[in-house]
Amino acid sequence: MEIEIISFGKISEFIKPQKLEISGITHTDDLKVYLESSFPKLSGMKYKLALNKQIVQQNCEIANHDTVAIMPPFSGG
């Protein structure tokens, strides 16, 4: 299936917005493993995912054409 990846802050400097063809990945926990091996810089960092504009708090199922945002710690204000 195909998902869309967007990223923010520091992470946007090494992961550009892109469409990702993934197979065998059904949940966000698997996706994290996949992302960290595809983008080694990510593995040492603190980050959160948002699936279709919802912050991922627990392992969530991913569907075709979902959008996943990769977000480093917030620093607003």
Partner 1 sequence: MSEKKIKNIFVAGPIDPAFIADSIAKHGSKTAIGGHSIFMGQVRRDEVDGKLVDAIAYTAYEELALEKMHQIREDIFEKYPLNCMHVYHSLGTVKAGQICLFVFTSSAHRKPAIDACSELVERLKAELPIWGKELFDNDTHQWKENI
Q: State the binding string over 42-71 for partner 1 (x if CB under 8 A, else -).
A: --------x--x-x-------------x-x
User: Smaller CB distance to partner 1: residue 13 or 21?
Assistant: 13
According to the binding rule CB under 8 A, does residue 5 interact with partner 1?
no
- By beta-carbon proximity to partner 1, the closer residue of 37 and 54 is 54
Q: How far apart are CA 45 and CA 64, in angstroms?
A: 27
Q: How far apart are CA 60 and CA 39, in angstroms?
A: 21
3-state SS class at 47 = coil
Longest dimension (CA), the chain: 40
Does 9 bind partner 1 (CB under 8 A)? Our answer is yes
C-alpha 64/C-alpha 77 separation (Å) is 35
Residues at the interface with partner 1 (CB under 8 A):
6, 8-10, 12, 50, 53, 55, 69, 71-77
